[in-house]
């Protein structure tokens, strides 16, 4: 999220992850200002306080309301100025100094300055901050390691901020650019407290208008935006869970763009002269996590049996319709350090039964299988996938009951370990392996509320991940991350299912909407042909 790691010399990040983001306004005499873009998505946001959220549906709205100190360039994973016009680090990589943009105000009129940055970041970091315990848990601050790595966040003067680290951290500057570390209005947080998530105030190109839960979120243009007024007057995010219904509404003109079409509908979309299908390789992983805090998933042979029971190529063919590839590693092949030498576990039901017998379950066992309630980039249809998995597990003697909840409840329950086996996934926030491996598989991230919902705790894995994030040498980091993939393959806390392509369907009247290497959507440059 939603983008890679370390400073100026750190790396040219090879990243291709889609999700719509929007490119700079090119000189175009035909551009037309005004209008309302209606964007159809599969589920509602959980909340709109960026520091507290962890899901893409929340971030894609937050990205239009807030700004970060450092931003990702349109169409690139390189960095550019955001609310900081420039920044530098000390030679040892421990002190980062940010020079702030002057003359910026929040949507509520509060001035943007060093005080606002300290409020936004220290409420996440400093346990003595009066708003540290207001609203919930700062999941990303903890899961990215910043909670342990950051020492102090202080103001040098009204428009200069210093962040001091306890140890060198390769991904720092790319991490501080992601959505959860957006700068919020101190005035609004103080006013709303726990309810700030429903009343968001940032400095971004759009201002919050209204939120009808389960239906729509309305944003309006920020006429005073420091980066220039958006072309659109309004953006409406509509929540339409059924993929087919979203497509019908797009074809009827009720939507201008939509996510997650059914794979079966792709040809119909290609044949529709009013629509355009955008796609590119994704940087995501869909997986089936086995809760290792609950027997029998603490048994390696049970986890191996489940890996051998699932026919991933058939799932990709029928459920993804060619818009994905079978996964064998916890990171996508488009990400540097991917280890293609690892041999995927073969589909072998007989071997799976043998492994269950060796594990002490010759007659199998009963468990629950949690199905995603909303389409995601990495799993387009959770219910359909669950039914296939249920059948395949039954073939080896494992009887599953499919359960699900609304999206927010599903995330809450899985991160607190209430599930047995649960499907989930990850789309890159930044193009560094740390973003996948540390958040999803570290011991630190297995603390509830967990990003590591397998509750996989490996000292061996933790040591490798800690070493990889503490050095800047690219070759050494590649070697360490490949070692981490080998450890994952040995311990199999998940069934890695698929890496999906990212796709978006738009009406051809929508202009300057571009797929981006990262997954955030910026609507500032889009315009509508009338």
- Which CATH number is 81's domain given? 3.90.76.10
Angle, CA 436 vertex, CA 431 and CA 439 arms, to 5°: 125
Confidence of residue 288 (pLDDT cuts 50, 70, 90): very high
Confidence of residue 517 (pLDDT cuts 50, 70, 90): low
**Closest to 183 in 3D by CA, of 83, 96, 107, 103:** 83
Q: Indicate whether 99 belongs to any domain.
A: yes
Q: Indicate whether 491 belongs to any domain.
A: yes
CB neighbour list of residue 491: distance below 8 Å, 6 or more residues apart: 300, 303, 456, 458, 461
Name the CA dihedral angle for 292, 295, 298, 300, rounded to a multiple of 10 degrees.
-130
- Domain co-membership, 366 together with 465: yes
Give strand pairing partners of 286.
425, 498
CATH code (residue 432): 3.10.105.10
Q: Which of 198, 223, 242 is the last residue of a domain?
A: 198
Q: Which of 175, 198, 221 is the last residue of a domain?
A: 198
Q: What is the mean pLDDT of residues 287-297?
A: 98
With b for 16 or more beta-carbon neighbours within 10 A and e for fewer, the 39-78 pattern comes to: bbbbbbbbbbbbbbbbbbbbbbbbbbbbbbbbbbebebbe
Q: Indicate whether 41 belongs to any domain.
A: no
Rg of the chain taking only CA atoms, in angstroms: 23
Of all residues in the chain, what percent carry a pLDDT higher than 70?
Answer: 93
**Count: domains in the chain:** 2
- Domain co-membership, 177 together with 292: no
- Domain co-membership, 376 together with 492: yes
- Domain co-membership, 305 together with 185: no
- Domain co-membership, 153 together with 298: no
Give the structural domain span for 458: 284-500
- Domain co-membership, 486 together with 386: yes
Q: Which of 139, 167, 198 is the last residue of a domain?
A: 198
Q: What is the mean pLDDT of residues 158-181?
A: 93
- Reported pTM: 0.73
Confidence of residue 14 (pLDDT cuts 50, 70, 90): very low
First-to-last alpha carbon distance for the chain, in angstroms, is 32
Give strand pairing partners of 326.
498
CB neighbour list of residue 336: distance below 8 Å, 6 or more residues apart: 11, 13, 14, 431, 433, 478
pLDDT at 203: 98
- Domain co-membership, 306 together with 438: yes
- Domain co-membership, 343 together with 457: yes
- Domain co-membership, 194 together with 288: no
- 3-state class (DSSP) for residue 523: coil
> Which tens digit of pLDDT belongs to each residue from 406-445?
999 999 999 999 999 999 999 888 878 999 999 999 999 9
- Domain co-membership, 157 together with 300: no
- Domain co-membership, 489 together with 342: yes
Alpha carbon separation from 370 to 45, 80, 270, 318, 411 (Å, rounded): 20, 40, 33, 20, 11
Q: Indicate whether 211 belongs to any domain.
A: no
Q: Indicate whether 250 belongs to any domain.
A: no
Q: Indicate whether 265 belongs to any domain.
A: no
Statement: residue 8 has pLDDT above 90: no
Q: Indicate whether 13 belongs to any domain.
A: no
- Distance separating alpha carbons of residues 356 and 388, to the nearest angstrom: 20
- Domain co-membership, 304 together with 167: no
- Distance separating alpha carbons of residues 478 and 96, to the nearest angstrom: 25
> Which tens digit of pLDDT belongs to each residue from 118-131?
999 999 999 999 99
């Amino acid at each position: 999220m939603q983008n890679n790691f370390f400073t100026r010399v750190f790396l040219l990040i090879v990243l291709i992850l889609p999700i719509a983001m929007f490119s700079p306004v090119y000189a175009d005499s035909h551009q037309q200002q005004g209008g309302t873009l209606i964007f159809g998505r599969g589920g509602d946001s959980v909340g709109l306080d960026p520091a507290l959220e962890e899901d893409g549906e929340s971030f894609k709205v937050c990205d239009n309301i807030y700004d970060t100190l450092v931003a990702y360039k349109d169409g690139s994973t390189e960095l550019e100025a955001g609310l900081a016009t420039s920044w530098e680090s000390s030679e040892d990589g421990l002190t980062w100094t940010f020079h702030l943009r002057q003359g910026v105000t929040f949507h509520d009129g509060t001035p943007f300055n060093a005080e606002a940055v300290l409020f936004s970041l220290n409420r996440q970091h400093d346990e003595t901050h009066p708003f540290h315990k207001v609203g919930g848990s700062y999941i990303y601050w903890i899961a990215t390691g910043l909670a342990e790595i950051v020492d102090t966040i202080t103001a040098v003067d009204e428009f200069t901020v210093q962040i001091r680290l306890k140890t060198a951290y390769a991904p720092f500057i790319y991490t501080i650019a992601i959505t959860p570390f957006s700068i919020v209005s101190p005035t609004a947080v103080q006013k709303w407290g726990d309810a700030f998530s429903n009343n968001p105030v940032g400095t971004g190109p759009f201002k919050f208008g209204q939120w009808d839960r389960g239906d729509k979120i309305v944003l309006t243009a920020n006429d005073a935006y420091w980066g220039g007024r958006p072309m659109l007057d309004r953006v409406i995010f509509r929540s339409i869970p059924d993929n087919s219904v979203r497509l019908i509404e797009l074809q009827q003109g009720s939507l201008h763009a939509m996510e997650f079409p059914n794979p079966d509908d792709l040809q119909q979309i290609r044949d529709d002269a009013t629509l355009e299908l955008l796609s590119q390789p994704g940087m995501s992983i869909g997986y089936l996590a086995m809760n290792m805090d609950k027997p029998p998933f603490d048994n390696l042979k049970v986890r191996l049996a489940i890996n051998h029971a699932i026919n991933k190529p058939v799932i990709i063919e029928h459920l993804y319709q060619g818009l994905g590839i079978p996964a064998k590693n916890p990171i996508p092949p488009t990400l540097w350090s991917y280890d293609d030498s690892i041999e995927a576990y073969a589909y072998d039901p007989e071997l799976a039964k043998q492994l269950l017998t060796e594990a002490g379950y010759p007659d199998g066992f009963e468990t629950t299988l949690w199905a995603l309630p909303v389409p995601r980039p990495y799993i387009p249809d959770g219910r359909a996938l669950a039914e296939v998995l249920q059948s395949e597990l039954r073939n080896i003697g494992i009887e599953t009951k499919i359960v699900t909840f609304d999206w927010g409840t599903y995330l809450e329950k899985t991160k607190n370990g209430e599930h047995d086996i649960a499907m989930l996934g990850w789309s890159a926030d930044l193009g560094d392996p740390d973003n996948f491996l540390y958040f999803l598989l570290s011991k630190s991230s297995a603390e509830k509320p967990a990003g590591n919902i397998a509750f996989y705790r490996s000292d061996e894995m933790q040591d490798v991940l800690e070493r990889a994030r503490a050095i800047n040498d690219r070759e050494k980091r590649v070697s360490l991350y490949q070692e981490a993939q080998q450890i994952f393959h040995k311990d199999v806390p998940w069934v890695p299912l698929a890496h999906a392509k990212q796709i978006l369907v738009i009406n051809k009247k929508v202009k300057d909407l571009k797929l981006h290497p990262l997954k955030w959507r910026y609507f500032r440059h889009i315009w509508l042909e009338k």
